[in-house]
């Protein structure tokens, strides 16, 4: 029996009175948003329009942290066939350029660049029970790709949400990223973490927004 007054922590307070808990043997982090609505072209649009407005491209990100709360393996720089360099490939950061962890136990289902489709547009799936014991905590984040450059922030994106679902498809937590003035000007968010405690995994919702859209900036503390 404990009540937690620390903000940003969800106690395992289920939404029913059966005292159900969540099965965290695997957890899916789902990110969803709607495709940008074009702002009616019309006369003024033609007059002032000009530049094509960029689509909203939200990215789900996961950091696998060790006992010291750090990303131990930052992967390596990989040259792609077309001469691009990809940083942090096959490290302990799961993101659009490195979608599958070498262990195979955590992966990003794909990079959705527009929000097309219903429900979750991007998912990170983690088989928590299979993870190497050296991983103590996984932090899940969401960022708007090039949000600063495109003047985009959560306050503008339609119907954006991030949620966590347990092995049985039961929703553990969900944050709406749209329509909350707290997220105006914010391009990224530390959504939640799962961490090992007393031999089991615990889920904690954080929901802390940040103004940066930069992955390296978000990674700085880890």
Partner 1 sequence: MAINLQKGQKIDIGLSKMTVGLGWNPNEGTGYDFDLDVSAIMIDANRLVPQDEFFVFYNNVDSPEQSVHHTGDDPTGGNSDGGDDESITVDLTKVDARIQEILFVVTIHEAQARRQNFGQVRDSYIRILDNQTGAEVCKYELGEDFSIETAIEFGRLYKRNGAWKFEASGVGYKEDLAFFLSKYFKGQIIK
Nearer to partner 1, 6 or 81 (CB): 6
Beta bridge partners of 20: none
By CB under 8 A, residue 2 contacts partner 1: yes
Residue with tokens 């007393």: 198
Name the strand (E) or helix (H) holding 215: helix 215-219
- Residues that contact partner 1, how many (by CB under 8 A): 16
Report in angstroms how near the CB of residue 53 gets to partner 1 at its nearest: 27
Beta bridge partners of 197: 200
- Strands 137-144 and 106-108 turn out to be unpaired
By CB under 8 A, residue 13 contacts partner 1: yes
By CB under 8 A, residue 46 contacts partner 1: no
**Options 15-23, 53-61, 88-96, 103-111: segment touching partner 1 (CB under 8 A):** 15-23
Token pair for residue 211?
């103004």
158 within 8 A of 37, measured Cβ to Cβ: yes
By CB under 8 A, residue 5 contacts partner 1: yes
Token pair for residue 76?
């390596």
Q: Which of 130, 157, 126 is nearest to 142 (CA)?
A: 157
Contacts with partner 1, 155-194, as mask; x by CB under 8 A: --------------------------xx------------
By CB under 8 A, residue 198 contacts partner 1: no
The site for partner 1 (CB under 8 A) is made up of: 1-7, 9-11, 13, 15-17, 181-182
């Amino acid at each position: 029996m404990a009540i937690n007054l620390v903000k940003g922590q969800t106690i395992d307070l289920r939404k029913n009175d059966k005292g159900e808990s969540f099965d965290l043997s695997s957890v899916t982090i789902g990110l969803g948003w709607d495709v940008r609505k074009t702002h009616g072209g019309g006369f003024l649009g033609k007059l002032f329009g000009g530049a094509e407005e960029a689509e909203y491209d939200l990215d789900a990100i996961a950091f696998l942290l060790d006992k010291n709360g750090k990303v131990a393996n930052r992967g390596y720089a990989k040259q792609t066939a077309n001469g691009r360099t990809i940083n942090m490939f096959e490290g302990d950061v799961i993101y659009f350029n490195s979608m599958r962890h070498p262990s195979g136990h955590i992966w990003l289902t794909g990079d959705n660049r527009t929000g097309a489709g219903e429900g979750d547009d991007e998912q990170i799936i983690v088989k928590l029970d299979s993870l190497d014991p050296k991983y103590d905590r996984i932090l899940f984040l969401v960022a708007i790709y090039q949000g600063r450059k495109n003047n985009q922030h959560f306050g503008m994106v339609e119907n954006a949400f991030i949620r966590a679902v347990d092995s049985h498809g039961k929703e553990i937590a969900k944050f709406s990223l749209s329509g909350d003035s707290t997220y105006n000007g914010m391009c990224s968010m530390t959504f939640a973490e799962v961490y090992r405690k007393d031999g089991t995994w615990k889920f904690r919702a954080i929901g802390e927004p940040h103004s940066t859209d930069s992955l390296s900036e978000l990674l700085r503390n880890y």
